[in-house]
Amino acid sequence: MPKATKAQVKRERSQSKMAKVLKQKGYSKGKAPKGKEAHHVKPISSGGKTTKKNVRIISKAKHRKIHAGRRKRGKI
């Protein structure tokens, strides 16, 4: 799995890019609802992109649980 460069990570994490994707997903203000967060299915650090297909809106608790599991497995 190719690792992303710092520049690629910075570009993919830009607020404007995320707002654009959230608007495409139907969130008119370009922000996730209260208590929810955007999650990249394929992590940016592993070459994932900020696209409608790769971003999911999930609860903050679920997001923490996913990343805690990834850390345990050494994926982050």
Q: Do 68 and 23 form a contact (C-beta atoms < 8 A)?
A: no
Return the residue matching tokens 């830009």. Answer: 14
* 56/47: higher pLDDT: 56
Terminal-to-terminal C-alpha distance of the chain: 13
Q: Is the pLDDT of residue 46 over 80?
A: yes
For the residues 51-64, what does the mean pLDDT come to?
A: 96
Q: What's residue 24's pLDDT? A: 96
Q: Is the pLDDT of residue 63 over 80?
A: yes
Q: What are phi and psi of 55, to 5 degrees?
A: -105, 135
